[in-house]
Amino acid sequence: MEFTLNSKTVRYEGNPLTRLVDFLREDMNLTGTKEGCGEGECGACSVLRNGKLVTSCLIPMGALAGDDIVTIEGLRETEQGKCLISAFADAGAVQCGFCIPAMVMAAQALLLADSDPDEEAVRLAISGNICRCTGYDLIVDAILLAAKRGKGLW
């Protein structure tokens, strides 16, 4: 079974029920993707699958044939990723940080679909990414800031 991970082709022949989050964190050492709950409720393990946000704790490896997976490690190397990360830092959106890489992924999924979102759209896009620290306002600001600064990137 083959799929693409951060622009590289990966061949996988292990247990098809192994969770994508475990494969990423433990087999590939891509620890930017976090596990917060293991049941798709907190969003900390979010990655992009074919450009859409998904929680990697619910995806068995056997479901990935032909898919394109992007994690924070892939995104941070791109202009879009750099723009998002610096906007998060500048807007004061990061506190404990555990939810933030996935929050960046959620922002990326949003901006891929809508490069000029309003606040309501941003709140909706991150509504599955739980943050216990920030109260979200500054995260919303960060994403709006990235959209503004990154005009043309998405």
Partner 1 sequence: MTRIDDRIQRVDAVEKASGEARYLCDLSFDDMLYARFVRSAVARGKIVSIDVPPLPEGYYFFTADDIPPEGKNSLVMIAGDWRCFASGDVRYVGETIGILCGRSRAVLKAIEESIKITYEEQEAAITIDDALAVKGGPILEKDDIHCSLVSEKGGDVDEILSRADRVIEETVETGFQEHVHLETNAALCTIEDGKYTFYISCQCPFYVRKSVAGLLGLRPEDIRVRQTTTGGAFGGKEHFPDVLAGPLLVAEYHLKKPVKLVFDREEDMLYSVKRHPSKVVFRTGLDSDGKILASDINVYYNCGAYLSSSYVVLQRGVFHANGVYNFPATRIHGYGMATNTFPSDAFRGFGAPQTLFAIETHLNHIARELGADPVEYKKQYFLKQGDETVTQGHIVEKVVLNEMLDQVASKSDYWRKAAEYTPGCGKGIGMSFYNHGGAFTGNGEQAIIKAHLRLVKDGDSFTILCGQTEMGQGFRTILRKIVASVLETDMDKVAYDNPDTDCVPDSGPTAASRSTMIVGRLAEQAAMQMKDHLNEEHWEVETEYEHPEGHPWDQSTFKGDAYLGYGWGCCCVEVEADRLTNEIRVTGIWSSHDIGKAIDELIVHGQVNGGIIQSLGYAAMEKMENRNGHFRQSSMSDYVIPTSMDFPRQEWGLVDNPYEWGPFGAKGMGELVFNGADAAYTDAVERAMGIKINRIPVPVEDLEGLR
Partner 2 sequence: MVERCYVAASLDEALKIRKETGAHVLAGGTDLMVQFRQGTGISPVFPFPVVIISSVRELDDITAGDDGTVTIGALAVPARIAESQLVPYPVRAAAARMGAPALRNSATIGGNIGNASPKGDLPQPLIMLDARVVLTSLDGEREMLLDDFILGSKKTALRDDEIISAVRIPPVSWSYVFYRKIGTRRANAISKLSLSALMRFEDGRIADFRAASGASGPKVIRSREAENMLKGLDDAEARAELPAFLDAWNEALSPHAMPQYRRNTTRRMLEHFITSALEHPQSEIIV
Q: Quote the CA–CA distance of 50 and 32 in Å, as a whole number.
A: 19
- Give the burial class of 14: count Cβ atoms within 10 A of its Cβ; 0-12 exposed, 13-18 middle, 19 or more buried: exposed
Matching residue, tokens 């032909």: 66
Q: Which stretch binds partner 2 (CB under 8 A): 31-39, 68-76, 88-96, 137-145?
A: 31-39
Establish if 85 lies at the interface with partner 1 (CB under 8 A).
Answer: yes
Map the footprint of partner 1 across residues 101-130, applying CB under 8 A. Answer: 101, 104, 119, 122-124, 126-130
H helix runs in 15-130, sequence order: 20-22, 72-75, 79-91, 100-113, 119-125
Q: Helix, strand, or coil here: 7?
A: coil
Establish if 154 lies at the interface with partner 2 (CB under 8 A).
Answer: no
Q: Which stretch binds partner 2 (CB under 8 A): 62-70, 82-90, 91-99, 146-154?
A: 62-70
Establish if 58 lies at the interface with partner 1 (CB under 8 A).
Answer: no
Length, in residues, of the chain: 154
Residue numbers at the binding site for partner 1 (CB under 8 A): 25, 30-39, 41-42, 44, 71-73, 76, 81, 84-86, 88-90, 92-101, 104, 119, 122-124, 126-140
